[in-house]
Structure formats: C-alpha cells, structure tokens
Amino acid sequence: MTAKPATPVQVPQLIDGEFRQSQSSDWIDVTDPATQAVIARVPCATEAEMALAIESAKEAFKTWRNTPVPTRARLMLKYQELLKAHHDELATILAKETGKTFEDAKGDVWRGIEVVEHAANIPSLLMGETVENVATNIDSYSITQPLGVCAGITPFNFPAMIPLWMFPLAIACGNTFILKPSEQDPLTPTRLAELFLEAGAPKNVLQVVHGRKQQVDTLLTHPDIKAISFVGSVPVGQYIYTTGTAHMKRVQAFAGAKNHMVVMPDANKQQVINNIVGASVGAAGQRCMAISVAVLVGDAKDWINDIKQTLESVRPGVWNDPKAAFGPLISPQARNRVLKLIEQGKAEGATCLIDGAACVVEGFPDGNWVGPTLFSNVTPEMSIYREEIFGPVLCIVTMDTLEDAIEFINNHPCGNGTSIFTASGAAARKYQHEIEVGQVGINVPIPVPLPFFSFTGWKASFYGDQHAYGKQAVRFYTETKTVTARWFDSDIPSGLNMTIHLK
C-alpha cells in the first residue's frame, strides 16, 4: 500500500547553485497515480527565478567551457557510480510518482545511467579532424567547442532516462544546462540533480526550474539560450521547434509515435505473443516506443485469439505489487483520454476483443487504471489508428503480404520505432531497407538504441536533424571550428597572393 504523506513536499528548484524554495504563487499538485494522494507540490518558476537561472548558467559557462575535458569526463564517471549506488532509491521515487512497477522503474533509471557512462567517453567523442599539408606548410584541423547555455524540456513518461539523455552529454561537451522537467513527476529529476552536485558538479553548471508553458516560452525565446532539447507530444514538439528556431536556436524535438510490429507467418508464435504483450501494455502503454499496432501478415492473422488470451492474463497494479504487469496511467485526464479513444474505436466500427475501461484494482478505487485492451478490424481512418493512444491498447490489422504491410506503415505520419518478427533474413532485410521509420527491431519489439548509437526517430516523431545521445548529440551540443594554420620557418616573406587559392 502506498502511504498518504501528511504534508506534501514542496519541490525545490536548483538555481544559482542552491536548492531553493520558489516564491511562486502558482503551484501544481503531484499526485500518486494509484490513489490521487498529493505527494508533492511543484512551483511554476517566477520570472525573476527564470532570469536568475539563465543568468547564473550564462556566468557559469565562462569557467566551465575552460574546464579540462578529462575533468569533465571524471565528473561523469563519478556521477554514473553514484547513480548506480542509488539505483533502487531512484527507482522507488520514480515508481511512486509515475505508478510504474518497481522493475520497470529500475529500467528507466538504468537506460539513463547508460547515457552517463557514454558521456564519460567525452574526450574521444569531442575529437576533431586533422589534415596535414592542405597546402605547402599549411595544416587544417577542426575543433569542437560548446555552444553556451542549453535547455531541456522533458516529458512525464521517463523522468530519469530522458533528463539523462540531455544534461550529462550537454555538460560534458562544456555547456551549462537548464532542465525543465515534467510538472507531473518532478521528484526523480530533483534527486538526479542532487546526485549530480554530490558527484562534484560545479555549482551553477546545472539549473533545474519548474513550470509549464510560460516557463518553457521563456527558455524558447531568451537570447542567452543557444539550444533546446525537447521530448514530448507531437503538437507541443511542433510548437517548440517552430518557436525555438524562429528565435534562432538550435532545436531537437522528439515527439509522439505510433509504432507497428509486423508479424510474418514464419515467426515463432510464442515468441511473438510474449513480445507483443510486454511491448504494447508494459508501462501502461505510456512509452514512445510502445507497440500500439500489430500488423499480422498472411496466416499470422489466425493468431489473434492467442494474443487475446495472453493479454487477458496480465493486469495492472500498484508499483510494489510484484504480480502487477504495469501500473496506472499518469493522471485522471490521461485515463479519460484513453477511455474516450476506446469508445471512439467501438463507435467507428473496430471490434473490441478486450475492453479494459472498467478495470479495477482491489484496494485502490481511485487509481487511474485501464486494463489491457484489444481491438481488431482496425482501419487507417479510425481515431484509434490515427492518434497516439498512450494507454494499454493494442490495435490489430491484417495484411496479405509484407509489401502491403510496408506500404500501410509508411503511410502513417509518425516514424519513431517499428519491429518485424520473422524467421526470414530476406524479409527482415527488405523491411529494414524499405520501412520509413527511424528505429527498426528485427525480432526485438522495442528497439531503443544503446547510447553509443543515437535515438533516431523520423517523420512526425522528430523535428530537427541531430538526434539524442551518441555522436549526434555531441554534434548537437557543439560548434565546429576549422583552423587553417601556417608557421613560417624563415623571415623571408612569401610573395603577394591576390587569390583565395592556398599555395
């Protein structure tokens, strides 16, 4: 049972090197999604607090950019060690405020730790290029330099992993960073920031402010912010990208998704079922890489009943219930939106094989529960196909051939992730080559790349060009400077050169 705290914590902000209580008059309740108990209150930063955070980060940049790269790498080494030592504690905080099961919460923290491990490789990631003798006695080389103050705006669904996609790499590159976490689960990012200071991060290099649109708008429009990293829904992502770039900032905006799993008839049926259930309703479907559409090809369409039986066998529960397969949705609003889409699916003619709308969890009557839900006979014009449901709802479509499946999926505006289950290398190769989606799993349902690659969503799932983590993040958080250098080895002057030709 989740105990109801007597007094909700007032979430502090990390501004100008200190965790401070906000002077704001505008506060948002952070609730336990299984009970609605208010577990914390998060402020919407005042204009003065936003201004101080930005000024402080700008000032800190002057020294941090000159800090030796190995020193920055050692900070990341220490930080990943501390995060590992606090893994269970972080997962507990995270599970309580998101409702995720403890095991899933640990995964959220772990995928973030992996990015910090990657950031510890910053010396080799920052290496430029050199060509000797581009002309007689002239060498050229490129160096990578930080941008200045960067900012990150993160969603509720991965409150450890996604902040850790951003600030460790940005800071390892020599930038300073302002994080605006989701107002729905700010406790995990706050603890991440405390541990960052404990690891030895100089004061002011990281600032954490809270709020919603107004605070985000300050970051998007302030001339001292050089780059914006955003992760969240499609409409907000489009707004962030257009507003940030209109204010001459570098922007990477990761947005919503609709991920398909293609099931070929030669795949191992039990493997498919085991993978599809976890990938669709795990984390209550609140993953940007969740599988929300199964595309059954040819005779695989006969497996609908087997998928249904396994989906019916899993149920939600509270974060510390070891038998719970997933938790509640983040908020009553999120639940109502999912319930509305389930009703629309029925009204628009899809067949509802399992309806999770009435799901209850004993002892937790106020939780934001939705049980596993399964639709078949789904067509592209239906709301449940067009929209990202972000709930434990799986839609099934059937296709005659792999070519039909590829064409169908390529017509969806989103392109975050997809997978194919098959025993055929040729089918997998064709799928990998022809599918217009940025992350492909072959017999892997949720192909989130490890941090030495980049998180490469496409189409409406990403606005920008350099993606999160990997080498692309280092390019995003740095400028390249190219030097062309000549050292004279005698006092005899070279002749006049009236052209741009290097001789």
Cβ-based nearer residue to ligand NAD, 181 or 356? 181
Q: Which residues pair with 227 in a beta bridge?
A: 150, 250
CB of 4 to ligand NAD, least distance (A): 25
Cβ-based nearer residue to ligand NAD, 65 or 212? 212
- Would you call 288 a catalytic residue per the annotation? yes
66 DSSP 8-state letter: T
CB of 309 to ligand NAD, least distance (A): 28
How far apart CA 247 and CA 254 sit, in angstroms, is 19
Contacts to ligand NAD by CB under 6 A: 153-158, 180, 182-183, 212-213, 216, 231-233, 236, 239, 254-257, 288, 388, 390, 416, 455, 457, 461
Length of the chain equals 503
Cβ-based nearer residue to ligand NAD, 107 or 457? 457
How far apart CA 189 and CA 100 sit, in angstroms, is 16
CB of 66 to ligand NAD, least distance (A): 32
Cβ-based nearer residue to ligand NAD, 317 or 464? 464
How far apart CA 258 and CA 290 sit, in angstroms, is 8
Q: Up-side HSE of residue 397: CA atoms within 13 Å toward CB? A: 24
**Residue 432: is it exposed, middle or buried by C-beta count within 10 angstroms (0-12/13-18/19+)?**
middle
Cβ-based nearer residue to ligand NAD, 241 or 254? 254
Q: Tell which residue, 89, 99, 67, 61, has the closest CA to residue 192.
A: 89
Q: Which residues pair with 74 in a beta bridge?
A: none
Catalytic-role residue among 44, 150, 173, 288: 288
> How far does Cα 482 stand from its chain's mean position?
32
Q: Which residue is nearest to ligand NAD (CB)?
A: 232
CB of 334 to ligand NAD, least distance (A): 8
CB of 339 to ligand NAD, least distance (A): 17
- Please enumerate in sequence order all residues whose Cβ is within 8 A of that of 431, keeping only pairs 6 or more positions apart, or say none: 262, 402, 406, 420, 422, 440, 442
Q: Tell which residue, 149, 129, 61, has the closest CA to residue 481.
A: 129
Is the distance from CB of 124 to CB of 30 less than 8 angstroms? no
Which residues are the active-site residues? 288
